[in-house]
């Protein structure tokens, strides 16, 4: 199977959304295990959090929200209490978009 074979492609009218993820939120996000994220985990690992911030398509934000909702609901036992607080704040910010 080729890498990226099943990646979803953006459509002609799809727009990207700018979301700034830096510092502690980014560190906690990189620590998460995201086996079913369809390449989203690799994209997050490549992101360094400096001046530029990634633009996300709607379906990428939906995947990220689904994964974060598991953390918020306590479904990931490997996330620390501080990490859960930070990722909950990120989850709430993404819901507000």
- Residue-range domain boundaries for the chain: 17-95
User: How many other C-beta atoms can be found within 10 angstroms of the C-beta atom of residue 73?
Assistant: 10
Output the tens digit of pLDDT for each of the chain's 97 residues. Answer: 454 555 566 777 888 888 888 889 999 988 888 777 777 888 888 887 665 667 888 888 998 999 899 899 988 888 999 999 999 999 999 999 8
Nearest C-alpha neighbor of 20 from the set 46, 43, 51: 51
Instruction: Say what the pTM is.
Output: 0.78
Rounded distance, CA 26 to CA 86, Å?
9
- Which residue carries 């490997």 as its tokens? 78
Chain centroid, CA 71 distance in Å: 12
């Amino acid at each position: 199977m080729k890498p990226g074979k099943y990646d979803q492609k953006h459509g002609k009218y799809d727009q990207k959304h700018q979301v700034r993820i830096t510092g502690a939120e980014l560190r906690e996000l990189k620590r998460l295990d995201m086996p079913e994220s369809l390449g989203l985990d690799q994209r997050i690992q490549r992101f360094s959090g400096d001046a530029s911030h990634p633009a996300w398509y709607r379906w990428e934000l939906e995947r990220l929200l689904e994964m974060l909702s598991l953390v918020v609901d306590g479904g990931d036992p490997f996330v620390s209490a501080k990490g859960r607080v930070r990722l909950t704040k990120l989850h709430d910010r993404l819901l507000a978009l």
